Amino acid sequence: MTATRRFHFDPEWRITLLSAILLPLLVALGFWQLQRAEEKVQLSAAWEARQQQAPTPLASLWDAPASELAYRPVSLRGSFVDEYFLLDNRILEGRFGYEVLGILRLQDSGALVLVNRGWIAGDPARRALPDVPRVEGPVELVGSVYVAPGAPYLLAEQQLLPGWPKVLQAVEMDRLVPVLGALAEGAVFPYPVRLGRDQPGALAVHWQVVNVSPQKHRAYAVQWFAMAAVLLVFYLLRSSNLWQLLKSMGKG
């Protein structure tokens, strides 16, 4: 090979520094997306397995750890109180609305359970709150315990204004338990229960197990890895005579 065809590497310090920062970051983001995909696969598998179980009376699970409660089918008896919460900014099929969080007083103990009845349409202009149909008398319900996978994302600290219904940005049980305690004759269950379809008081029930599918996370990972590869190729071409060597080989 002649001298003109030797590989020369002459990195420029600013491009090297930028690449040294960005390349590990892009690769790390790719692996993070793969990790998120695996978490979603495990979450979906856990949900599927739990749905095969027969509903367990909620009273027998009161002190169970969160890992045993997540998506666990449960049965409960009681009556809804008049007060309820509205979970704000819930979108269903492109329409604005709320999720209705009813408060069920259990028949045997008088304890309270937050029951998510599902979605109801709201006024996009926010001039009025929706008219939520009441559930009269004692009811027997079947649903599943919802344990949030992480802390809720809030734009600002949540303010619980006087009066009912109370509009929420997210379900923060540590903030809601003191409010519910004023209505309770007993304890307050620490997690909400999502009502099943065709249950008394159920509204539009379309529970989503994961908000982003594993396939999307994998697609995002491919994008991050591709960006890392492009950056690496750009750095090599910019810092060496590799492009000239490739062109001369093509001509030869």
| Domain boundaries along the sequence of the chain | 13-54+210-252, 72-195
Do residues 111 and 188 make contact, with C-beta atoms less than 8 angstroms apart?
yes
Helix and strand numbers (H, E) in the chain are: 5, 7
Looking at the chain, how many residues does it have?
A: 252
pLDDT by residue (tens digit) across 120-172? 999 988 889 999 999 999 999 999 999 887 665 555 566 777 788 999 988 88
Q: Where are the beta strands (DSSP E) in the chain?
A: 56-57, 73-92, 95-106, 112-121, 139-145, 166-168, 193-195
Segment 162-185 shows an average pLDDT of 82
- 145-180 in b/e form (b: 16+ CB < 10 A) is bbbeeeeeeeeeebeeeeeebbbbbebbeeebbeeb
**C-beta atoms surrounding 207 within 10 Å:** 16
pLDDT of residue 102 exceeding 80:
yes
What is the overall mean pLDDT for the chain?
A: 85
The model's pTM is 0.70
pLDDT by residue (tens digit) across 206-215? 887 666 678 8
Segment 196-219 shows an average pLDDT of 84
CA distance 6 to 13: 22
pLDDT of residue 1 exceeding 90:
no
pLDDT of residue 154: 57
CA-based nearest residue to 198, from 129, 138, 139, 130: 139
